[in-house]
Structure 1
């Protein structure tokens, strides 16, 4: 039931604002200042990512948040606490979270996350599923401190953080509930670059536009090969790479890339 006031029902703002410009789909959490990853937010993200996968106009996704205080403090704890004693309800919630992050990670279009302020729990696990992570150079608090709540990171954080920074760094962060800044995150390989907070979102957009200008079929092939390589044998990974090469051969973008190189000009990739 919707809350009411003297003037009638109160309309809640949507948890996610989605905009598309120049091939870049920007997904903004609108729950400032905390930007919690509520049930409604994750449902909206799932729908947006599913639609982006089949939309040829979308070439890159950027995950960010409203304001300049926090990317996300993670899951709405009240919502998850209500399900802790109900195993089927908890499993349903976890399955959906894991499904959404797997969709982002396996998407054949690059994804970028902006890390600033609190990036905790799910607020780090979603960026870990992205292909690029940019952080603010000051004020960030990045980590998976779930051990302080007596629980384990539940959205793939234990696996993805370990694959990203290695076992020793991952254990140090999770078992000590450490919250690190952007510079330390860069040092251990958790993020790709750091930027002044005032320039962070612009830097993410610039990177997104750079990636959006690349040939989408070749980008998809590289993502398919690299993201799937961790679970594949070398033989299977090389076979996937061969398939990706053959899919690009003879396409308009491949021909444009070769022609532009020979003509010593910048290529213009239209897709296809």
Structure 2
């Protein structure tokens, strides 16, 4: 495990694990965001890593978002740098070709929820803690994509209610709305995420990358253009080694052995 101060990076086989590690609440400042960016790029650029997990070392918090005391003490220019880095991190998560899983086991608020929203999949613990975007209580709105990604997950009406009131919800309510993919008992949460990441790590990396491009890119296009995007993406996969291996394995009735080529 590599200790990047407020972010820990660990490689487990084909999985890269980024652990938020700034007690007590993982409230971030610029240094932490920079550390996160460094570790995330390390995982993305490692050809042996095919899936990424983002979790927390805290038993009570996934992430409380920006450190408000730091934010209040900063100059406008300093805060602009922090916001810019946060936005870059969210885009890096969403645009990378590897599936990123958020593991939420405690309060997930503000910029912390925005990190989770940028991830592709969100697993969460069943016990009681808060999930929300309370920026309205500061006279603000989310600034790192929260309003847009939240709306795409839970719909306009639910998003407006959460955003305009700043009220937080439980993990159970987040699951009901579609914000959370699956709920687990705390002791089962990380093993479930690792099991999924391991499965993804054995999958066809090129097809998984194409899946992310199709889903995120197509969601912003009219249907005819989205279907054309899908066509272009799948056409690139037929002659890949993994594509040929997938057909052979199906015919031979055996598990496919994908290599990411």
What range is the shorter-chain TM-score in? over 0.9
| 1:75 corresponds to 2:75 | no
Partner of 2:9 in structure 1?
A: 18
The TM-score normalised by the length of structure 1 is 0.90
Partner of 2:99 in structure 1?
A: 110
| 1:129 corresponds to 2:123 | no
Partner of 2:258 in structure 1?
A: 269
| 1:65 corresponds to 2:56 | yes
Distance 1:167 1:65, change over 3 A: same
Within the candidate set 186, 200, 207, 2:189 is matched to 200
Partner of 1:99 in structure 2?
A: 88
Conservation of the 8 A alpha-carbon contact between 2:218 and 2:227: no
Distance 2:138 2:104 in 1: 22
Within the candidate set 142, 165, 168, 1:153 is matched to 142
Distance 1:53 1:233, change over 3 A: farther
Partner of 1:217 in structure 2?
A: 206
1:29-79: CA deviation from partner (whole Å, max 9, x where unpaired): 112331222322210121222333332111111000003221111111122
| 1:238 corresponds to 2:227 | yes
Partner of 1:87 in structure 2?
A: 76
The Cα shift of 1:92 comes to 2.6
Distance 1:111 1:13 in 2: 19
| 1:250 corresponds to 2:239 | yes
The Cα shift of 1:238 comes to 2.2
Structure 1: which 5+ residue stretches go unaligned? 1-11
What is the count of residue pairs matched by the alignment?
Answer: 259
| 1:139 corresponds to 2:109 | no
Distance 1:45 1:171 in 2: 30
Consecutive aligned runs of 4 or more in structure 1 exceeding 6 Å deviation: none
Distance 1:29 1:132 in 2: 17
Two-structure CA RMSD over aligned residues (Å): 1.7
Partner of 1:170 in structure 2?
A: 159
The TM-score normalised by the length of structure 2 is 0.93
Partner of 1:27 in structure 2?
A: 18
Conservation of the 8 A alpha-carbon contact between 1:116 and 1:139: no
Give 3-state SS (helix, strand or coil) of 2:236's partner: helix
Partner of 2:180 in structure 1?
A: 191
Distance 1:246 1:53 in 2: 24
The Cα shift of 1:240 comes to 2.1
Distance 2:189 2:56 in 1: 12
Range with bigger deviation, 236-245 or 125-134: 236-245
Distance 1:96 1:13, change over 3 A: closer
Give 3-state SS (helix, strand or coil) of 1:248's partner: coil
